[in-house]
Amino acid sequence: MRPDGREPDRLRPVTIERGFIRSSTGSALIRMGETRVICTASVEEGVPGWLRGRGQGWVTAEYGMLPGSSAQRIPREAARGKIGGRTHEIQRLIGRSLRSVTNLGRLGERTIWIDCDVIEADGGTRTAAITGACVALVDALDAMVATHALERSPMEDLVAAVSVGIVDGEPRLDLSYEEDSKAEVDMNVVMTGGGRYVEIQGTAESGTFSREDLDRLTALGAAGVASLVTIQREVLGRRA
Amino acid sequence: MRPDGREPDRLRPVTIERGFIRSSTGSALIRMGETRVICTASVEEGVPGWLRGRGQGWVTAEYGMLPGSSAQRIPREAARGKIGGRTHEIQRLIGRSLRSVTNLGRLGERTIWIDCDVIEADGGTRTAAITGACVALVDALDAMVATHALERSPMEDLVAAVSVGIVDGEPRLDLSYEEDSKAEVDMNVVMTGGGRYVEIQGTAESGTFSREDLDRLTALGAAGVASLVTIQREVLGRRA
Amino acid sequence: MRPDGREPDRLRPVTIERGFIRSSTGSALIRMGETRVICTASVEEGVPGWLRGRGQGWVTAEYGMLPGSSAQRIPREAARGKIGGRTHEIQRLIGRSLRSVTNLGRLGERTIWIDCDVIEADGGTRTAAITGACVALVDALDAMVATHALERSPMEDLVAAVSVGIVDGEPRLDLSYEEDSKAEVDMNVVMTGGGRYVEIQGTAESGTFSREDLDRLTALGAAGVASLVTIQREVLGRRA
Amino acid sequence: MRPDGREPDRLRPVTIERGFIRSSTGSALIRMGETRVICTASVEEGVPGWLRGRGQGWVTAEYGMLPGSSAQRIPREAARGKIGGRTHEIQRLIGRSLRSVTNLGRLGERTIWIDCDVIEADGGTRTAAITGACVALVDALDAMVATHALERSPMEDLVAAVSVGIVDGEPRLDLSYEEDSKAEVDMNVVMTGGGRYVEIQGTAESGTFSREDLDRLTALGAAGVASLVTIQREVLGRRA
Amino acid sequence: MRPDGREPDRLRPVTIERGFIRSSTGSALIRMGETRVICTASVEEGVPGWLRGRGQGWVTAEYGMLPGSSAQRIPREAARGKIGGRTHEIQRLIGRSLRSVTNLGRLGERTIWIDCDVIEADGGTRTAAITGACVALVDALDAMVATHALERSPMEDLVAAVSVGIVDGEPRLDLSYEEDSKAEVDMNVVMTGGGRYVEIQGTAESGTFSREDLDRLTALGAAGVASLVTIQREVLGRRA
Amino acid sequence: MRPDGREPDRLRPVTIERGFIRSSTGSALIRMGETRVICTASVEEGVPGWLRGRGQGWVTAEYGMLPGSSAQRIPREAARGKIGGRTHEIQRLIGRSLRSVTNLGRLGERTIWIDCDVIEADGGTRTAAITGACVALVDALDAMVATHALERSPMEDLVAAVSVGIVDGEPRLDLSYEEDSKAEVDMNVVMTGGGRYVEIQGTAESGTFSREDLDRLTALGAAGVASLVTIQREVLGRRA
């Protein structure tokens, strides 16, 4: 039995609020259970030095947690003067995930900054960030099409992500913090609207997992991502 | 005429949402016009080294702006590896303001961390942070009384703050970003529920101001703070 | 009775030694009682990036305390690898104060670096820094006129500053460290030679202050600044 | 056809030199093709603060690349003053991988520092680091058994890792730098001597991958890891 | 002919002003020509961690240059967030030099912080710092004897330093900045009052030097240090 | 009697392996007893800003120790976020030493990065680094001649270095770590193939040394360097 009574293959309640930050051309507040993340997409002319002159764009992501987002206060990384290993890893994952569905050539020499800030944390913040940021990115790119900065959107598909894991020997979808902290195996699955994999990261901190476990977890993740993409489409007013 | 048609002595629409972060014992989302700030108060046992052994507590504040909180993206201080001068100044101001109404002796050897994170910025973020943080602090301390960690709350009064300024020669209350960026004089006024000053900071970056200007601005600020304290009392369900 | 027997409305003995650093085109050693600050003004061609191309200059300030400037050694900020909040606040105050009397357009695309280094600290270091730095700045700009780098000096007035405060219930001018550390209210007043306000910062760390206190302190500060401007004029060999 | 003529399912030539650093109780130089990594394991009494008092130990890893390890010099992270995101990610991966086969309770309140320093880089440095570090860790723990610091070794299995990827549409084992830089999909597989998964990280930076791709890559990786474990056993003089 | 007309074996005019910082128990302002350095010695109970429990003390030094100390402004190391290589080297040299004449056992578990801050720089700042700091240290330790914190001073001798160099093929004593910047060989000689070497650092940045050059420079340095020690003794009111 | 039974004037066994890093155009692994250092020389077009436009090149050095290079693990400077004083000092020494034998004008506007990374440390790492780096530099510059990037090599001589010291009152050549840690005087001598001094650094951390000691140590060092240059010549296949 899960702490909130959910079936093993069920997501927590999900809502995505488009345009949560009015001054931003692309933003969303995603909520998955008690986890809430503000996602924004900001466009900047130009690209990082190593990419200059190749006629293509870049999508990069930054991630943070508000100190008060968790019952136990999280020290501010700005105050510590450096970004921790976990944050780096998450930032890189979000960036890669969004680039996988963006045609960087069509974007032109521009950088999209994706910012994902967790305002309340109850597990699955990095996967919620990817799912919410995808909506913000769609809107920011559509706004560029609307102002004729781009001829058509460089987004080639949607992308969403979910966590799965093995808790008390049972494969489960969309772990809460309580479940995550005692999971034997933890896996993040990032997939496109078209059902192809972008990233899969499975980790057994305590113990190990078998080939069969891997198969069950990836199947569970694929189903979860499919549900999230359906929600993204509804929110964006798109057909499948 | 002000950009949003307000009278010179009127606040923008103000709302304070208590308990915005569920996992926090004291939190508030304050909105003043388009400016929105999440404020949380977290209790930690113990005090900074220089205060140890004196039987009194400490209230300290941190402040941040989400990168996407403004139309022009704000680089993340954690990524730059250091906190800028403006942030330091604001953090110190918020901390002093809240300590002025807290009986640190009655708090005992505990530290209250106040976190103010701007999710959308349209001027007056530091004063909104003080006003919102006061509500979060009241709730966090009341929760300690409810669990008998404290016998009675160390809060001795409420505290609120507002910006005033001279724009196009006219003294105005509660400047928006557009007004603030062209103000001749900018002043922040922090006062208690009892109508006494806690802090007053008036600055003329371009030009200077007279004794009469000073008097007019402090009067305008006092009236604005009085209105904010009334709102705090309503939100907290308190009588004057 | 004050620790050094002064009347409440008296400054400590003040001296300003022009040209204290021979290799500098503008420098001063200001002494207010036991407080001593070396102030220099260095001219650099060009302006910060955000100001480029607008045909105007910039005045910026840095402030430091020698570790041995106080009986209790002050750790070196360079060794700690970052500048503290108090230093940031002071640097910004000094910069704003000097810019308020400088015609930045007439300066052209140049940056003036003001450095204020406290060699002995006994209260009022930031206000002494402003008063001393003003003399250094006058000399640096006059030297540019002398070498025909500028047609006439961009200085439009003098600027000076003083601290005032309430100690043992009594408003006092120019607090020493001993008085400052037990003051109920502490205020810094920055004014021009013409008697207009540039900045006013009043803080009640313990307790609060009334409208009447504010009036008394600003009056005391205005008189103190007027005396300092007279000394600046004498040192610079100028008529009122 | 691969650049070095290998079959798609073949490892590069692998050697592991035990005891490469004489002053270290556990060290190894691993070579996979032109990639060479020095791995050491150092024992320190005590554990990080958050683990204190629980009677268990910790295994943590650090990773670096010598600036001259690649034809294009790699700037030194110590000189830049911070560790990059890629390094953080690798360090965390190595640490998790080794902890998965170490009985931390049996280790007692000690920390094992694993250091992996790449002296020549030609792809697959992080997986080589894991495979080499496992040998260094076995030796460091066996040395503690030999000196009676431990009754028996906390190592419960061996662990090894390899990269696999899809290059020109073909799944391949153990990519060189040249292959890695043009791979469509890149995956790292970490497994135990017993053939169970510890970590699997598959990434499609350009494009995406299907369920079938995932299956082919994990099979290829499992075979590669099995060969590496055989080499580890030979080097360590152990039977299967 | 030297720029200031001195003979090759002559020091610049030297003065040492004891007690330059009134609040400090040991301080000196040393002037060698236009070079001026403020030196202070501050006593702190306790020693660095690695020395704890051995019953002996420590003498450590920090060095800085005021930004305005040179005609070309020197960026503040605190603002850059790190201490440069040259500063590190100088700090270590000053610390070693003073430790060489201090009986650390007799000092007990205390740390003496030596701070040397250059207020005007015209060559030879590190050697002037050593010579001036020695006087500050004598006074700080004598003050401890006076207050019975120590039975007798741990200073076992005086120490002084001077620069020598080869300029235009000629060995010269006590180089000014102008000479130093074109010297073929530059050497710093640190010696005790008793005429023994503490440190000798000779460097040929452009070109090299012979055994004969080395002999001539060390002789010149020894004579210079002897003169400086005579001045130290006069200032301190000591007999040879 | 020395710990390893050597005569006071004997070097430890020395080997220099050219081309240790295959991907590097100039590299060497130097071994002196148990001390091993990997040295590489990397060429970069362009020079630091302060040297631009003068038509000459630059040689700069970085130095590091692998954490596992010593029995007691050395914390990684990249993890601490800053480079320590000792490292800075060594880097500057290596850079100066190699520049002394390089004709920077003939190099043209290029920077040579010398990296010296200690993989095992048993005393004398900085002097071994200089001796090994010289070989790497010769090879990197010869490779540029071979590809016609340079007409002829800018190397004008060889350079090598050795440590000498007084241990138990006896002057000794090439100290091991055990000897170094109890030496009364420690000196590093850097000389050219032609027998001229480049740098001499003698330090007495405990105690002092006489003129006679200085003479004996420099003679011992000169003989040691001469032997090392002979080895460099053999390795490089050059005649004296």
- For C121, nearest residue in chain E (alpha carbons): E23
- Reading the block at residue B107, the tokens are 């708090």
d(CA F121, CA F32): 10
d(CA F43, CA F58): 10
Surface-to-core class of residue C195, CB atoms within 10 Å of its CB (0-12 exposed, 13-18 middle, 19+ buried)? middle
- For D38, nearest residue in chain F (alpha carbons): F119
Are D154 and D145 in contact by the 8 Å Cβ rule? The answer is no
Q: Of A68, C95, E80, whose CA–CA distance to B63 is shortest?
A: A68
- Reading the block at residue D209, the tokens are 């991958």
Q: Could you tell me if residue C117 is left (phi over 0), alpha (psi between -120 and 50 degrees) or otherwise beta?
A: beta
Neighboring chain B residues of C88 at a CB cutoff of 8 Å: 84-85, 88-89
- Reading the block at residue D126, the tokens are 């992080």
Shortest CA gap E196–chain C (Å) = 30
Residues near A157 by beta carbon (within 8 Å), at least 6 away in sequence: A101, A192, A193, A194
How many interchain CB pairs under 8 A, C with E?
107
d(CA B168, CA B182): 8
Does the beta-carbon distance from A23 to B120 stay under 8 Å? Answer: yes
Does the beta-carbon distance from E71 to C120 stay under 8 Å? Answer: no
Query: Residue D184 — φ and ψ, nearest 5°?
Result: -80, -40
Polymer length of chain F: 240
Contact partners for chain C, using 3 or more CB pairs closer than 8 A, are B, E
Does the beta-carbon distance from B73 to A42 stay under 8 Å? Answer: yes
Mean pLDDT of E55-80: 94
Mean pLDDT of B132-153: 97
d(CA D199, CA E50): 40
Neighboring chain B residues of C209 at a CB cutoff of 8 Å: 196-197
Residues on chain C bordering chain E, Cβ-to-Cβ distance under 8 angstroms: 21-24, 27, 34, 38, 40-42, 44, 62, 64, 66-71, 73, 76-79, 81-83, 87, 113, 115, 117, 119-122
Q: Of B109, B105, B114, whose CA–CA distance to B49 is shortest?
A: B109
Q: What is the pLDDT of residues A163-198, one digit of tens each?
A: 999 999 999 999 999 999 999 999 999 999 999 999
Residues near C162 by beta carbon (within 8 Å), at least 6 away in sequence: C11, C124, C127, C131, C173, C174, C188, C189, C221, C224, C225, C228
The letter for the amino acid at B200 is: I
Shortest CA gap A91–chain D (Å) = 9
d(CA B62, CA B47): 16
Residues near C219 by beta carbon (within 8 Å), at least 6 away in sequence: none
pLDDT at position F206 is 74
Does the beta-carbon distance from A192 to D214 stay under 8 Å? Answer: no
Q: What is the pLDDT of residues D180-204, one digit of tens each?
A: 999 999 999 999 999 999 999 999 9
Residues near C80 by beta carbon (within 8 Å), at least 6 away in sequence: none
Q: Of C89, A119, A17, C82, whose CA–CA distance to B116 is shortest?
A: A119
Shortest CA gap A100–chain B (Å) = 23
In eight-state DSSP terms, residue D13 is: P
Q: Which of A88, A194, A204 sits opposite D85 (nearest CB)?
A: A88
Shortest CA gap B65–chain A (Å) = 10
Residues near A208 by beta carbon (within 8 Å), at least 6 away in sequence: D100, D191, D192, D194, D196, D197, D198
Shortest CA gap C117–chain E (Å) = 7
pLDDT at position F240 is 58
- Reading the block at residue D4, the tokens are 């070095």
Q: Could you tell me if residue F228 is left (phi over 0), alpha (psi between -120 and 50 degrees) or otherwise beta?
A: alpha
DSSP string of chain C, one letter each residue: --TT---TT-PPPEEEEET-STTSSEEEEEEETTEEEEEEEEEEES--GGGTTSS--EEEEEEEE-GGGSSSPPPPHHHHTS--HHHHHHHHHHHHHHHTTB-HHHH-SEEEEEEEEEEE-SS-HHHHHHHHHHHHHHHHHHHHHHTTSSSS--B-S-EEEEEEEEETTEEEES--HHHHTT-SEEEEEEEETTS-EEEEEEE-SSS-B-HHHHHHHHHHHHHHHHHHHHHHHHHHT---
With a cut of 50, list the residues of chain F below it in pLDDT: none
Does the beta-carbon distance from A199 to D198 stay under 8 Å? Answer: no
Neighboring chain B residues of C99 at a CB cutoff of 8 Å: 205
Contact partners for chain E, using 3 or more CB pairs closer than 8 A, are C, F
Mean pLDDT of C200-219: 91
d(CA D130, CA D90): 10
pLDDT at position D240 is 59
Are D195 and D226 in contact by the 8 Å Cβ rule? The answer is yes
Neighboring chain D residues of F73 at a CB cutoff of 8 Å: 42, 44, 113, 115
* Residue E205 pLDDT exceeds 80: no
H helix runs in chain D, sequence order: 77-80, 85-99, 104-107, 125-146, 177-180, 211-236
Looking up tokens 């850059």 gives: E80
Shortest CA gap D82–chain F (Å) = 5
Does the beta-carbon distance from C117 to E66 stay under 8 Å? Answer: yes
* Residue B240 pLDDT exceeds 70: no
- Reading the block at residue D58, the tokens are 């910790």
Shortest CA gap A11–chain D (Å) = 22
**Helix (H) or strand (E) segment spanning residue B201:** strand B197-203
d(CA E141, CA E152): 8
* Residue C240 pLDDT exceeds 70: no
Are B236 and B138 in contact by the 8 Å Cβ rule? The answer is yes
How many interchain CB pairs under 8 A, A with D?
93
In eight-state DSSP terms, residue E133 is: H
Q: Give the helix, strand, coil percentages of chain A, each rounded to 5.
A: 35, 30, 35
Neighboring chain A residues of B27 at a CB cutoff of 8 Å: 68
Buried-state track A126-157, b at ≥16 Cβ within 10 A, e below 16: bbbbbbbbbbbbbbbbbbbeeeeebeebbbeb
Query: Residue B113 — φ and ψ, nearest 5°?
Result: -95, 120
Neighboring chain A residues of B73 at a CB cutoff of 8 Å: 42, 44, 113, 115
Neighboring chain D residues of A209 at a CB cutoff of 8 Å: 196-197
Looking up tokens 């040393």 gives: E30
Query: Residue B50 — φ and ψ, nearest 5°?
Result: -70, -10
Q: What is the pLDDT confidence band of residue C206, given thresholds at 50, 70 and 90?
A: confident
- For D28, nearest residue in chain F (alpha carbons): F68
- For B81, nearest residue in chain A (alpha carbons): A81
Does the beta-carbon distance from D69 to F22 stay under 8 Å? Answer: no
Polymer length of chain E: 240
**Helix (H) or strand (E) segment spanning residue E92:** helix E85-99
Neighboring chain E residues of F204 at a CB cutoff of 8 Å: 100, 197-199
Mean pLDDT of C108-127: 97
Residues on chain F bordering chain D, Cβ-to-Cβ distance under 8 angstroms: 21-24, 27, 34, 38, 40-42, 44, 62, 64, 66-71, 73, 76-79, 81-83, 87, 113, 115, 117, 119-122
Surface-to-core class of residue C171, CB atoms within 10 Å of its CB (0-12 exposed, 13-18 middle, 19+ buried)? buried
ipTM: 0.93
- For F200, nearest residue in chain E (alpha carbons): E202
Q: What is the pLDDT of residues F12-31, one digit of tens each?
A: 999 999 999 999 999 999 99
pLDDT at position D81 is 82
Query: Higher-confidence residue: F200 or E239?
Result: F200
- Reading the block at residue F128, the tokens are 């071994």
Neighboring chain F residues of D42 at a CB cutoff of 8 Å: 67-68, 73
* Residue C205 pLDDT exceeds 90: no
**Helix (H) or strand (E) segment spanning residue B125:** helix B125-146
Q: Which of B22, B79, B82 sits opposite A34 (nearest CB)?
A: B22
Does the beta-carbon distance from B120 to A44 stay under 8 Å? Answer: no
Does the beta-carbon distance from A200 to D201 stay under 8 Å? Answer: yes
Does the beta-carbon distance from F91 to E85 stay under 8 Å? Answer: yes
Are F190 and E202 in contact by the 8 Å Cβ rule? The answer is no
Portion of chain D with pLDDT greater than 70, in percent: 99
d(CA E240, CA E124): 25
- Neighbour tally for B18: CB within 10 Å: 16
Model's pTM, two decimal places? Answer: 0.90
Mean pLDDT of C2-23: 96
Shortest CA gap B66–chain A (Å) = 7
Buried-state track B103-139, b at ≥16 Cβ within 10 A, e below 16: ebebbbbbbbbbbbbbbbbbbbbbbbbbbbbbbbbbb
pLDDT at position E240 is 58
How many interchain CB pairs under 8 A, D with F?
107
Q: What is the pLDDT of residues D131-164, one digit of tens each?
A: 999 999 999 999 999 999 999 999 999 999 999 9
d(CA F113, CA F28): 14
Are F33 and F176 in contact by the 8 Å Cβ rule? The answer is yes
d(CA F142, CA C159): 64
Q: What is the pLDDT of residues B86-95, one digit of tens each?
A: 999 999 999 9
Q: Which of B21, B64, B81 sits opposite A81 (nearest CB)?
A: B81
Portion of chain D with pLDDT greater than 90, in percent: 92
pLDDT at position D137 is 98
Looking up tokens 């205005």 gives: C222
Residues B13-19: contacts with CB under 8 Å, at least 24 apart: B14/B228, B14/B231, B16/B131, B16/B132, B16/B135, B16/B231, B16/B232, B16/B235, B18/B135, B18/B139, B18/B235, B18/B236, B19/B139
Q: What is the pLDDT of residues F205-221, one digit of tens each?
A: 777 999 999 999 999 99
Q: Give the three-class secondary structure for A46.
A: coil
With a cut of 70, list the residues of chain A below it in pLDDT: 239-240
Does the beta-carbon distance from D197 to A218 stay under 8 Å? Answer: no
Looking up tokens 């699997």 gives: D200
Residues near C99 by beta carbon (within 8 Å), at least 6 away in sequence: B205, C58, C59
How many interchain CB pairs under 8 A, E with F?
93
Are A10 and A186 in contact by the 8 Å Cβ rule? The answer is no
Q: Of D152, D160, D164, whose CA–CA distance to D233 is shortest?
A: D160
Per-residue pLDDT of chain D (240 residues; tens, 9 = 90+): 899 999 999 999 999 999 999 999 999 999 999 999 999 999 999 999 899 999 999 999 999 999 999 989 999 998 888 888 899 999 999 999 999 999 999 999 999 999 999 999 999 999 999 999 999 999 999 999 999 999 999 999 999 999 999 999 999 999 999 999 999 999 999 999 999 999 999 999 777 999 999 999 999 999 999 999 999 999 999 865
Q: Of D117, D122, D157, whose CA–CA distance to D141 is shortest?
A: D157
Does the beta-carbon distance from C214 to B204 stay under 8 Å? Answer: no
